[in-house]
Amino acid sequence: MDTAQIVQELQFKAVRSSGAGGQHVNKVSTKIELTYDLQNSTAVTDKEKERLLLKLSNRLTKENVLLLQCDDSRSQHKNKDLAIKRFLELIKSALIVPKKRKKTKPSRSAIEKRLNTKKKSALKKANRKKPSLE
């Protein structure tokens, strides 16, 4: 994965932001919409594309385009930087391959130790009871 090439393939669009901000919001397009065409990307290998398609399937459009929006800041440049950071984190986290779990079995001594402690606690609780009259 070549991050510099991926960033070059990103497309940005400035849109008017919603929410608080008064008259300023109605005049300035500060919200950034980031689009990344995963299907036609040359910065990602075929295996990485398959993995990204699997992991990010709920975030992709029908044309396999990833859309991200950022309107945290009132500055268009800050929003663009934030969107790029979020995008790269999303891609990196999706490409992580989890380790396969190895099945383990407790040792014989561990099993015996557990059973002995269970017997001791059972005896302790049995000795707390009142003695029977018989």
Report pLDDT digits (tens) over 29-39. Answer: 888 999 999 88
Element (H, E) at 119: helix 108-127
pLDDT at 41: 85
CATH number of 3-95: 3.30.160.20
Burial category of 107 from C-beta neighbours within 10 Å (exposed 0-12, middle 13-18, buried 19 and up): exposed
Is 82:76 a contact under the CB 8 Å cutoff?
no
**pTM of the predicted protein model:** 0.70
d(CA 29, CA 18): 10
Given a cut of 70, is residue 52 above it in pLDDT?
yes
pLDDT at 120: 96
Is 69:31 a contact under the CB 8 Å cutoff?
yes
Give the residue-averaged pLDDT of 33-55: 89
What is the crossing angle of helices 46-55 and 76-95, to 10°? 100
The total number of residues shown for the chain amounts to 134
d(CA 120, CA 45): 60
pLDDT at 21: 66
Tokens read off for 94: 């999706």
Tell me the per-residue pLDDT of 78-132, one tens digit each, with 9 for 90 and over: 999 999 999 999 999 999 988 999 999 999 999 999 999 999 999 999 989 887 7
Given a cut of 80, is residue 67 above it in pLDDT?
yes
Of 83, 69, 72, 74, the residue nearest 30 (C-alpha): 74
Q: Domain limits of the chain?
A: 3-95
Tell me the per-residue pLDDT of 12-29, one tens digit each, with 9 for 90 and over: 988 887 766 667 667 788
pLDDT grade for 1, boundaries at 50, 70 and 90: confident
